[in-house]
Amino acid sequence: MTKGVILALDQGTTSSRAMAIGLDGQVISSAQEEFAQIFPQSGWVEHDPEAIWRTQRRTAEQTVERLGGRRIAAIGVTNQRETVVVWDRKTGEAIHNAIVWQDRRTASRTQDLASQGHEAMVNERTGLVLDPYFSASKISWILDIVPGARERAARGELAAGTIDCFLIWRLTGGRVHATDATNASRTALYDIRTCRWDDDLCKLFNVPPSLLPVVKDSADDYGVTDLFGPTLPIRGVAGDQQAALVGQAGFNAGDVKSTYGTGAFLVLNTGAERKRSTSRLLATIAYRVAGKTTYALEGSVLSAGSTIQWLRDELKIIRDGAHAGELAASIEDTSGVHLVPAFTGLGAPHWDSDARGAILGLQRGTTIAHIARAALESAAFQTAELLEAMSKDGVAPQTVRVDGGMSRNDWLLQFMADILRIEVVRPKNVETTVLGAAILAAVGVGEFSSLDEAAALWRLDRNFTPKMPVGERDQRLAAWKQAVARVRTQA
């Protein structure tokens, strides 16, 4: 095996990152840059596609500069899922800001489709629910709102895609319009049974198929780029949560991971079987390698790390996530305070677009520490709701591997183990999203013969086991559910 380095690009909801990762899984160099979040009105979330491109390109250039001339074998790309861009095929310029996965502006459209009886068909073919979270209604909205866009789309002048697709277009100078199966499976336009764009779904959402990219394996040929020096092949692509499953070596049916970034996402590998949920969890594609599709069952929480970011940036009551953890650990409990972070609605298992966030149980003695602790606790409580939904679907994991920025907090992981009542396991490298993109690229370029070979990169850091008495746990979870019910009632 040659000693190549993989350049992994991680385009996230609040920042763009690049990491150069060796074939031993070690990070050699990296760079990260935040970009602005745009909130035009309540429930709307947008990004400037040029800001995404500038920050992603700049972090990649900085990472390459810090490599000291080491050979780059390939590029891997991972991205915030469901977020979509529509752009001009000739100029590469977006015709509207990217509409972010958290955005709820198309809620009335998806609710209308559900009331017309279309959800069963959508769920059967895509594994998804009818919700504004997914890409299809966002693309249709852009075509409707931008003057002349539908006419331009009919003439073949426009292209659409998730963020990976937009980056690949830019990286290859417009030569490649492609996405991978994991990202395609999040659009509500892709039949995960046949692994094809579905004409009926395109008609339902009024999205011209001519806009859509070619769908490839997660380890595949996505063209080349010469933007970072010598020509480099792009060989791995996956949505961030599926990439994290790969980075956690979740290659066996029954393996489960939970990633805590902007949102929180519990993903269970179901192998070659597409499992149908009766609890409004999502069936999705975990990855597709060598033409073989592996499926997953997923629960999606819309606000986790973004809740902490809100405390920092909008309320300005904490310095950073570490400060929130210090405050939380400084008190015994929240004294009845609950923070339900439904800033843009609630995800699984509720799928309530109308719910909005609330801090409940405030008293005269409530302090910043109580609010910070309630914000962190909300991530554990929401994960517990996802595990309960999985248990109703006949799945009861005894261990969950966690990753993402919030997983660095020991106090939070112990609280999570207590509330989930299962073992919580943290790897040495919690940046598993980037690692997963690197692994897929290494497989795609032949540095690894298979995903199984890459499993050896996973290393245990620490595990956390439940310590809280069951009765206390049940009381705390019941109080959380009451808080959620109050938020949904007020919506």
Question: Is the model's pLDDT at 171 over the cut of 80?
Answer: yes
Q: Which residue has the tokens 């947008």?
A: 46
pLDDT bracket for residue 226 (50, 70, 90): very high
State mean pLDDT over 51-76: 94
Helix axes 107-115, 119-126, angle to 10 degrees: 100
In this prediction, residue 321 carries a pLDDT of: 84
In this prediction, residue 57 carries a pLDDT of: 97
State mean pLDDT over 47-69: 95
Q: Residue 327, class by beta-carbon neighbours within 10 Å (0-12 exposed, 13-18 middle, 19+ buried)?
A: buried
Structure tokens at 384: 């517990």
**Bridge pairing between strands 423-427 and 399-403:** parallel
Structure tokens at 299: 């629960």
State mean pLDDT over 27-38: 94
In this prediction, residue 491 carries a pLDDT of: 53
Assigned domain for 142 exists = yes
In this prediction, residue 302 carries a pLDDT of: 84
Higher per-residue confidence, 233 vs 318: 233
Question: Is the model's pLDDT at 110 over the cut of 50?
Answer: yes
State mean pLDDT over 30-54: 94
Assigned domain for 318 exists = no
Range of the domain at 91: 5-239
Higher per-residue confidence, 490 vs 337: 337
Higher per-residue confidence, 183 vs 26: 183
What is d(CA 30, CA 62) in angstroms, rounded to the nearest whole number? 8
What is d(CA 357, CA 343) in angstroms, rounded to the nearest whole number? 5
Assigned domain for 140 exists = yes
Q: With pLDDT > 70 as the criterion, what percentage of the chain qualifies?
A: 99
Tens-place pLDDT, residues 259-316: 998 889 999 999 998 988 888 899 999 999 999 999 999 998 888 888 998 999 898 9
Tens-place pLDDT, residues 363-385: 999 999 999 999 999 999 999 99
Tens-place pLDDT, residues 155-165: 999 999 999 99
Assigned domain for 114 exists = yes
Contact 26/7 with Cβ under 8 angstroms?
A: no
Tens-place pLDDT, residues 236-268: 999 999 999 999 999 999 999 999 988 899 999
What is d(CA 283, CA 418) in angstroms, rounded to the nearest whole number? 27
Averaged confidence pLDDT in the chain = 93
Question: Is the model's pLDDT at 231 over the cut of 60?
Answer: yes
Question: Is the model's pLDDT at 1 over the cut of 50?
Answer: no
Question: Is the model's pLDDT at 405 over the cut of 90?
Answer: no
Q: Is the dihedral of CA 148, 151, 157, 159 positive or negative?
A: positive
Contact 376/308 with Cβ under 8 angstroms?
A: yes
Structure tokens at 416: 């999570």
Structure tokens at 352: 């309530």
Distance of CA 21 to the CA centre of its chain: 21
Question: Is the model's pLDDT at 187 over the cut of 50?
Answer: yes
Assigned domain for 150 exists = yes
Q: Considering the entire predicted model, what is its pTM?
A: 0.90
Domain count, the chain: 1
Assigned domain for 426 exists = no
User: The domain spanning residue 87 has which CATH number?
Assistant: 3.30.420.40
Q: Which residue has the tokens 């995404």?
A: 52
Q: Which residue has the tokens 């996973």?
A: 458
Task: For residue 359, count other CB atoms closer than 10 A to its CB.
Answer: 16
Q: Residue 357, class by beta-carbon neighbours within 10 Å (0-12 exposed, 13-18 middle, 19+ buried)?
A: middle
What is d(CA 83, CA 85) in angstroms, rounded to the nearest whole number? 7
Assigned domain for 366 exists = no
In this prediction, residue 490 carries a pLDDT of: 66
What is d(CA 264, CA 242) in angstroms, rounded to the nearest whole number? 13
